[in-house]
Structure 1
């Protein structure tokens, strides 16, 4: 048997599980159903998952559900009871316990005091949020291989997982691989189901990109870079501040390229409050005065 082929086969099977989870987070966790999705024995598949992914399936589900929950808390006024059900919790009490364990505060406290509030307060006061700054710098071109994603930006992790499986199968993933996504639409003006984005991992210029993966590039020019600390799902307020305050007061002009994000650490082994993301807004290159 070819060991590489066997590893690839297991990764692809478990990649189907991750995709299924993203689409069914509001449903009860059924280990037997997940075993069917993976086409593996219910006696062994979760051990394989833990060994390859570095976390149990229960931890993955909890992480993804709370990821969605932070987005609802930061960007909607949904009551906690309703929000809990949308995220797969049977009641507000069980959701609140899980949320407090992960974030150190209750859901309502997070809605009122989470890091997204700093950007909204700053925009209202026409100031910079405490602890954040924007740097304008040249971002070297990065070649990536990945997949298109349509729908909620919160679910782009599914495209990342599928891209990773395809690239890992070809030995194109390493410690230096960079995880980057570009976002084509404004979620406040485009229906969620129509939002378009793309996620991928960096690859060398010489690397062959095999379908269904697509090759794309980001960078290669000046960008305004805002380093965001905290959960991915709460960055909408940071975008509103970046465009609505920083850009219009900066003297810079936006470039003809979509905004992109680079994820600097791994949510599997990083506390949500410590996740680091560079939001990169392409800018037009300044022209010399005549």
Structure 2
């Protein structure tokens, strides 16, 4: 009988290691798993990262939600998803705790366990890591899921890395909606559009000083008319300015809706979120 392409064998694991999966940083990182390596329920995502400039391999809506959280944080400088943890270590932990190690039943191959996110963070001159496992709360009621999470928890404790479980209860829904609204507009198509977006920022700052009660949507319409732009062009720039944090929401738990936001409910910064990361964060 032909094996499924999702079946794990020692040959397949060796092939993945040879390909360099689980190694690299930023745009050079290769996740252990891609959306093509696991059965899909139609909820996988491949957003381009603000920090890494590469397509990320996210296997669920909840992973996407937490990815947005990491993207928004100014402390996070690199995001590595589907990160493989050392199989010899997890086998040792499994034995010590008398917990069955995950394995491929058809081939009796111990599976390389993964952590959903390993994020590199910077606070001042300090570099540190956080590991996060993403699980819907209903799965946390499954004893077998909890056993595998205990192996993972112990692995990261042994490495001195903070580890935690993230479920849907701790991820604000409106925050997710806001980031979904702006995320893909972090980069604009051309340098001319980037310059125009900064002209619009100056326009908004000046308007806020003179007419702080104005609706954002009215400023958008005025700017489109002033520069003879297609209707709605300024909405495009708004999403970019939010993504770059030239406009910083007072409260990310409130919707980013230009027709409801007044200028006095916005905070502006000329610097924006312009951190530039090289090929290494070591």
TM above 0.5, yes or no, is no
- Bigger Cα Rg: 2
> Which TM-score tier does this pair reach, normalised by the shorter chain?
under 0.3
Structure ranking higher on relative contact order (CA contacts 8 Å, 6+ apart) = 1
